[in-house]
């Protein structure tokens, strides 16, 4: 599918296969050669000569195998559909793009208005020695394309600041704009533009040993949060009728020792709990210890793995997983009151909420997965089927509510596919909604007490560096250069930076706080250096965030991140 789309982008006019990079202004279209023909002799892009789709797909799947195992076909095709823009092609921008181009992003436009200087040859791997004196945008763009020819490359040879000023509509075409090495003032303007055109803004900055990454967008919804510690939603504490019926089929006190040690622990837990309640007037065990004692009393041999597993999982009965505060916040969100303009996501959330208030009895839909349990194959499969059937039934109930809601708001009742609803239900427990304040607001308003506490903490200098990053931008605004860039002015800059930092502190409401002298000194020592390795870390973090935002999988940053290469730590701030 993806390749077929690309094949249609065949072009009239000048075809520069070697440079692979094209200016976007004017009438030229862009040529893309498939990487599948890389090993074949270089040839002009002709539809007839292209490898058949099946083979191309197989090659693509092989190439991206190690990442398809993380974000799957859905994630990969989201990346391949994305059109992103990267501002400034220094090492931070280049490294961010490198990571995304390798992963097979659909297309990118790099915007940079500078000439290549000697310092570019000391900190940027995407610039060749022979490019010295040429333009940076085209040089970086061409080497990126050479790295992965499945990606559609473009460049604009103009400074980002001037595009932001003169041509805001330029940003309309992008799903994600990555702004690197931009000052606070340019970012605040760009942020307004991106919000207007519904593009996500990702900010990345390297400054000496310090890095900064942050996200700005009105709202970002995550269905597939894929948390590391996935909660096993097994409902041992309140089995539904079909599950109770299945448990009745087992005689856990069987005389047969082989059968006794091959009954899945889920069955054991539910049955033992049921027996306990029968003996205790319907009461639950008062402690985990009581329940464990009851389990141990039914265990016959030391090596009964199913009983050992039951003991390990007993906590799921006494303290079943609770719903996370982030999830509950989604249910209480203002957008749950839907109307004709609501997004599919919020319609599904509204249906989910109704489901939980009614047939769900307070629980979100079951996801249907069952961990491995020591057991006969047949016993386990039967248990698994009961869980899957319940998940199906829950999803069907949510689906019915979605269809009704769509009808109510005057939309096509089949406007959201069954697959989407099932996918939503399977991940319902981990839904997340992220909202970010606008950059202008963030910089002008008072910071929260959490930030003030962090600033005062002796073991964490990262909040102080956040303040210093704001201070160097202010100073550069008035001084026309960053502090510490000229050796002879070092002492003077040091005093100025200290004063600027104090101004920032009082502006954001941290009266009485101060920035340690050695941090001010380090910041001045950095002299706005863009070190390759710091850029590589920042570019790596920015690329991870970009992937999370574009695929809608995993959980992105919740606030601005400060990376500190002195300590090799990062802190996500709550400002």
Q: Based on CB atoms, which residue is closest to another protein, 188 or 536?
A: 536
SS (H, E, C) 372-401: CCCCCHHHHHHHHHHHHHHHHHHHHHHHHH
CB of 360 to another protein, least distance (A): 26
**Which residue in the block uniquely carries the two structure tokens 């390749």?**
3
CB of 284 to another protein, least distance (A): 29
CB of 495 to another protein, least distance (A): 15
CA-angle at 573, arms to 570 and 575, nearest 5°:
160
CB of 272 to another protein, least distance (A): 21
CB of 543 to another protein, least distance (A): 4
Task: Judge contact between 30 and 106, C-beta under 8 A.
Answer: no
Task: Judge contact between 78 and 102, C-beta under 8 A.
Answer: no
Tokens of 458: 């002796």
CB of 71 to another protein, least distance (A): 9
Q: Based on CB atoms, which residue is closest to another protein, 283 or 377?
A: 377
CB of 521 to another protein, least distance (A): 4
Cα separation, 557 vs 214, whole angstroms: 7
Q: Based on CB atoms, which residue is closest to another protein, 23 or 226?
A: 226
Q: Based on CB atoms, which residue is closest to another protein, 280 or 312?
A: 312
Q: Based on CB atoms, which residue is closest to another protein, 148 or 452?
A: 148
CB of 310 to another protein, least distance (A): 16
Cα four-point dihedral sign 373, 376, 379, 381: positive
CB of 487 to another protein, least distance (A): 8
Q: Based on CB atoms, which residue is closest to another protein, 34 or 397?
A: 34
Q: Based on CB atoms, which residue is closest to another protein, 61 or 162?
A: 61
Helix (H, G, I), strand (E, B), or coil: what is residue 154?
Answer: strand
Q: Based on CB atoms, which residue is closest to another protein, 103 or 160?
A: 103
Task: Judge contact between 506 and 446, C-beta under 8 A.
Answer: no
Tokens of 164: 């932001």
Q: Based on CB atoms, which residue is closest to another protein, 98 or 429?
A: 98
Strand (E) positions, 117-222? 152-156, 176-180, 200-207, 210-216, 220-222
CB of 385 to another protein, least distance (A): 9
Q: Which of 275, 321, 307 is nearest to 373 (CA)?
A: 307
Alpha carbon separation from 52 to 3, 36, 150, 167, 546 (Å, rounded): 9, 10, 15, 41, 31
The beta-carbon contacts of 352-355 under 8 Å, at least 24 apart in sequence, are: 352/398, 352/424, 352/425, 352/428, 352/431, 354/401, 355/394, 355/397, 355/398, 355/401
Q: Based on CB atoms, which residue is closest to another protein, 261 or 403?
A: 261
List Cβ neighbours of 378 (8 Å cut-off, separation of 6 or more). none
Q: Which of 439, 433, 535 is nearest to 214 (CA)?
A: 439
């Amino acid at each position: 599918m993806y390749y077929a789309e690309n094949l249609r982008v065949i072009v009239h006019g000048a075809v520069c296969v070697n440079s692979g990079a094209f200016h976007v202004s004017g009438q030229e279209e862009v040529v893309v050669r498939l990487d599948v023909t890389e090993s074949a002799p270089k040839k002009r892009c002709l539809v007839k000569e292209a490898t058949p789709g099946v083979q191309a797909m197989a090659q693509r799947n092989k190439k991206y195998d190690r990442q398809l195992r993380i974000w799957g076909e859905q994630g990969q095709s989201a990346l391949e559909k994305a059109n992103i823009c990267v501002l400034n092609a220094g090492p931070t921008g280049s490294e961010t793009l490198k990571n995304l181009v390798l992963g097979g992003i659909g297309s990118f436009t790099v915007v940079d208005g500078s000439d290549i200087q000697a310092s570019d040859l000391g900190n940027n791997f995407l610039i060749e020695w022979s490019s010295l004196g040429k333009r940076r945008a085209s040089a970086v763009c061409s080497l990126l394309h050479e790295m992965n020819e499945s990606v559609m490359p473009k460049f604009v040879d103009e400074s980002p600041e001037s595009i932001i000023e003169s041509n805001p509509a330029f940003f309309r075409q992008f799903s994600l704009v990555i702004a690197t090495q931009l000052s606070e003032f340019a970012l605040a303007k760009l942020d307004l533009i991106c919000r207007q055109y519904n593009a996500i803004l990702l900010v990345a900055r390297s400054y000496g040993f310090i890095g900064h990454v942050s996200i700005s967008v009105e709202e970002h919804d995550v269905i597939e949060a894929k948390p590391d510690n996935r909660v096993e939603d097994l409902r041992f504490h309140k089995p539904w009728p079909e599950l109770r019926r299945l448990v009745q089929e087992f005689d856990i006190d069987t005389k047969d020792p082989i059968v006794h040690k091959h009954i899945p622990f889920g069955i054991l837990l539910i049955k033992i709990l049921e027996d306990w309640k029968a003996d205790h007037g319907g009461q639950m065990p008062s402690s985990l210890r009581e329940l464990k004692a009851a389990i141990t009393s039914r265990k016959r041999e030391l090596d009964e793995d199913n009983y050992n597993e039951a003991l390990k999982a007993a906590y799921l009965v006494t303290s079943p997983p609770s719903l996370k505060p982030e999830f509950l916040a989604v249910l209480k969100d203002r957008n749950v009151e839907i109307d004709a303009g609501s997004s599919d996501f919020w319609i599904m959330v509204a249906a989910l909420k109704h489901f939980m208030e009614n047939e769900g009895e307070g629980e979100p839909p079951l996801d249907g997965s069952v961990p491995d349990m020591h057991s006969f194959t047949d016993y386990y499969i039967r248990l698994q089927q009961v869980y899957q059937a319940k998940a199906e039934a829950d999803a069907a109930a949510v689906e019915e509510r979605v269809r009704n809601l769509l009808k109510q708001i005057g939309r096509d009742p089949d406007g959201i596919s069954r697959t989407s609803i099932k996918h939503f239900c399977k991940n319902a427990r981990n839904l997340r909604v992220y909202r970010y304040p606008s950059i202008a607001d963030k910089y002008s308003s008072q910071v929260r007490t959490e930030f003030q506490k962090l600033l005062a903490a002796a073991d964490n200098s990262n909040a102080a560096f956040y303040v210093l990053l704001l201070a160097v931008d202010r100073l550069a605004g008035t001084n026309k250069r960053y502090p510490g860039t000229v050796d002879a002015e070092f002492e003077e800059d040091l005093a100025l930076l200290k004063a600027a930092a104090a101004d920032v502190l009082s502006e954001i409401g941290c009266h009485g706080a101060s920035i340690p002298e050695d941090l001010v000194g380090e910041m001045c020592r950095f002299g706005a250096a863009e070190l390759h390795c710091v850029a590589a870390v920042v570019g790596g973090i920015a690329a991870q965030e970009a992937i999370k935002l574009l695929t809608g999988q995993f959980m992105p940053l919740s606030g601005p991140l400060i990376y500190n290469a002195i300590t090799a730590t990062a802190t996500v701030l709550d400002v």
